[in-house]
Amino acid sequence: MDEQWMIGQTSLSLGLHVGGPRVAPSVTRVLLEEDFMSSKKNHEVEALEAELRRVGEENRRLSHMLRALVAKYADLQCKVSGTMAAANNHHQSWTTSEDGSSASATRKRARSDSLDTASRNPSPPLAAAGSSGRFAVSVTVGPDQAECTPVHEPCNSKRVRADEVKASRVSKLYVHADPSDVSLQVVKDGFQWRKYGQKVTKDNPCPRAYFRCSFAPSCQVKKKVQRSAEDKTMLVATYDGDHNHAPPPKQQGSGGRKRGDAAAVRVSAAPVLVQQQGNQEASTAEQVADRKNLAEQMAATLTRDAGFKAALVSALSGQIPVA
């Protein structure tokens, strides 16, 4: 990092003549005192130089560790992105695989195609949302991209008009949820939702719940929540459309309704797109976060050391109080 700075600064201390020029050699007592002071300051300078060398060495070591850490951080980020991309592909595969009749297979194929099409249409990234202590990652990943982008997807609703299909935006949200929680309401995204239907679909024994945005009557956003057929602990929320209003303000635990009122448990004003992956991805992301925190701590340490160096050099370059 600043080894060159250190080299340059250490040289400053080598040429110091802290005691100043000898004067009045005729006064022995003064000379003795000056010799004493000079040797005392030499000891101080030596101690400071030793400290400077130690700090410089520590700085070099920390810099090296920081570089390694940054490299590992970048590597982990790539792994997280890759894992999420794989998970997305996997999700598409389980929606398109399985047995089933020709009709359902056709529908599934159509859904898969629309998903594929959607993943090729990136749009501005959206923020993350926490969810009742559950880990949430604001990422939607297509097969050929692994970054924070929402998914545009032609609506698969047969009732939606063509213009609405063009205008609609479909995104998916994966939430790790307690299998015993059957409410399908655990997907908290900062908006108010009103459940208007529930249906058992063919390719999944778990019922699918249908929600409408209840915050604004004119808001046409819909949400479908269903447990993953493979992993019952995973909830898949599909958002259809865009909110035409700002997220409702946060409210904390006052007068909420008993049954899964989204408004009562709002945790974030984040937009709709939050995709959560499984435990593996979560732990990897946590590792990334830990490493990032560690890197920041080390950077702070280096900054403090740089300040210490500055003070040290300042002292060595003439500001040492002369007794």
Partner DNA sequence: CGTATTTGACCAGCGC
Partner DNA sequence: GCGCTGGTCAAATACG
Residues near DNA (CB under 7 A) are 100-104, 106-107, 156-159, 183, 185, 193-199, 201-203, 208-210, 214, 222, 224, 255, 257-262
For DNA, the closer CB: 56 or 260 = 260
Find all residues with CB under 8 Å of 76, minimum gap 6, and list them. Answer: 284, 287, 288, 291
Q: At its nearest, how many Å lie between DNA and the CB of residue 64?
A: 54
> Cβ closer to DNA: 2 or 261?
261
Min separation Cβ 230 and DNA, Å = 16
- Residue closer to DNA, measured from CB, 107 or 232: 107
φ/ψ of residue 201, rounded to 5: -95, 165
Nearer to DNA, 224 or 291 (CB): 224
- Of 238 and 301, the one with the shorter C-beta distance to DNA is 238
Q: C-beta of 158: minimal distance to DNA in Å? A: 3
The packing angle between helices 3-14 and 279-314, to 10°, is: 20
Residue among 175, 250, 253, 169 nearest 215 (CA): 250
Helix (H, G, I), strand (E, B) or coil at 86: helix
Smallest distance, DNA to C-beta of residue 298, A = 47
CB nearer DNA, residue 11 or residue 254: 254
Here the tokens at position 134 are 């559950």
Amino acid at 92: Q
Report which DSSP code applies to 250: P
Q: Report yes or no: 154 and 114 within 8 Å, Cβ to Cβ.
A: yes
In order of 138, 276, 287, the CA distances from 148 in angstroms are 7, 12, 19
- 296 vs 62, 301, 307, CA distance in Å? 12, 9, 17
Cβ pair 229, 206 in contact under 8 A? yes
Q: Indicate the residue type of 196.
A: Y
Going by the DSSP 8-state scheme, the letter that residue 317 receives in this structure is: I
Task: Tell me whether residue 112 or residue 214 sits nearer to DNA (CB atom).
Answer: 214
Shortest separation between residue 132's beta carbon and DNA, angstroms? 15
CB of 305 vs DNA, minimal distance in Å: 55
Closest CB 255 distance from DNA, rounded Å:
6
**What is the spatial order of strands in the sheet that 234-240 belongs to?**
170-176, 234-240, 222-227, 207-213, 193-200
